[in-house]
Structure formats: structure tokens, C-alpha cells
Amino acid sequence: MTHMTRVKKQLIAVAVLVVGFAAAYGSYLLLSPDNSPRSSLDVKPAAEAMPVRPDSHRLSDPERSELTVVEFLDFECEACGAYYPAVEKLREEYGDRVTFVARYFPMPGHRNGELAARTAEAAAQQGKFEEMYSKLFTTQKEWGESQDWKEDVFRGYAEQLDLDMKEFDAALNDPKTAGRVLDDQRDGVALGVQGTPTFFFDGKKIDNPATYDEFRALIESHLSDTD
């Protein structure tokens, strides 16, 4: 691959991220605050709100973490899908210094949002959370924004990940799995989450960055404060 080809590919990747962030920022604004999901979610806030709990899903877990970035997300949310490649790129660059945490916050109006969260949680019970997390976001355009029930599609993803399907089906329909998703939502509501994605840096909610460079600069700023 020539130098010019590499540069061209990098520029295209940056352009895609910028466009995606612009779309994501617009989607987020549609959810706050006049149409706050607090009431439509009908979820009681946690008595003691915690941005991260011991059982929260960590996408990176460095030995010496200098910053914890938490994302409350909905797998069916197009804005979350737009941020996904940026989070992955940041995780690749800072995973040895930053703890990245994914928490469930399926939004009302998304037919399969809560089901997708249960799907990820059922996969997590077999040690495949990260794989299902990636699968759901990279295939979002194939199943998202549909009024059809997508359980068969998600079961197909579980089969592709070589999960034990008997265990997967049992976990998917176990009230404890739905309760685990609800626990994340309850924390989110108590912390003031009003739309997805919502990010927290060391427990403090931040305004969604409008570009990848802005997101990276925020992380760099927090890391420099700890040096």
C-alpha cells in the first residue's frame, strides 16, 4: 500500500466519523429535554446511583486505569451506532490507560432495543459480551428501526458466535436477565441520562463530542490532569 493510499483511507475514515457524529448529535438532541424519556421509560431511579457497578461490562480493563469512560447505550439507537466506530478506535488507542464501560439504556419506541440488550446480556453469561456488542452494532442497519420482532435474527448471531443455544435461550427469557438490563436503566435515570448515547468521564456526565477529534481531546485532557 502506497503512502498516498494510506493517507486517502485515513482521510475517508475521519470524514465518515465526522458525518456520523453530526448525525448522532442531532439524534441526541431529539431526545432531550422536552421529550425526556424519564417519564416514558416508566423506570424508577436507583436509590443510590452508580456510574459503574462491579458487574458492569468493561470493554477494557487496564491494570492501571487513569480514566473511566462509561457509555449508556441502546443497540438500536442510530446515534449509538454512529459513535460505535469512534469508541472502538479510542479503545484501541487508549485501552491500556482508560477503562471503557458499556451500560444498557434501551429507549422507548425501539421495538427491539430491550431485546437486543437481553441478547447481549445472555451472551455475556457465556463470556461473549464483547463479541455480541460488536455484532449488534455492526449489523444494526439490518435489523434496527424495524417493527418486526427480531429474536430469530439475534438467535442467529448467537449461533454465529458458537454459543450454547439451550443456555442462550434460557438466559434470554430469564427474568433475571431483564432485571440486569433494568438495573442499568435505573442507574441511568438516577444519573440524569435523557437520551442515548450518554457518556460519563469518571462519574461526571459530559456533553456529547461533535467530532472524533473533540472526543479524543477530551480524553487527552483528562489523562493529562492525572499525569
Task: State the 10-residue block means of pLDDT for the chain, 227 residues long.
Answer: 46 47 47 38 89 97 96 97 98 97 95 96 98 98 90 98 98 98 97 96 96 97 84
What pLDDT does residue 20 have? 55
Instruction: Give the integer Cα–Cα distance in Å for 60 and 93.
Output: 11
| φ, ψ for residue 201, nearest 5 deg | -110, 115
What pLDDT does residue 109 have? 85
| φ, ψ for residue 164, nearest 5 deg | -70, 110
The cell for 1 is 500500500
SS3 129: helix
The cell for 187 is 442507574
Q: Contact at 8 Å (CB) between 28 and 79?
A: yes
Instruction: Give the integer Cα–Cα distance in Å for 141 and 137.
Output: 8
Interaxial angle between packed helices 113-124 and 151-160, expressed in degrees from 0 to 180 and rounded to the nearest 10: 30
Q: Where are the alpha helices (DSSP H) in the chain?
A: 3-29, 37-41, 78-94, 113-124, 129-138, 140-143, 151-160, 165-172, 175-190, 212-226
Instruction: Give the integer Cα–Cα distance in Å for 80 and 118.
Output: 17
What pLDDT does residue 171 have? 98
What is the CATH topology of the domain spanning 3-226? Glutaredoxin (3.40.30)
Q: Domain residues of the chain, as ranges?
A: 3-226
What pLDDT does residue 17 have? 55
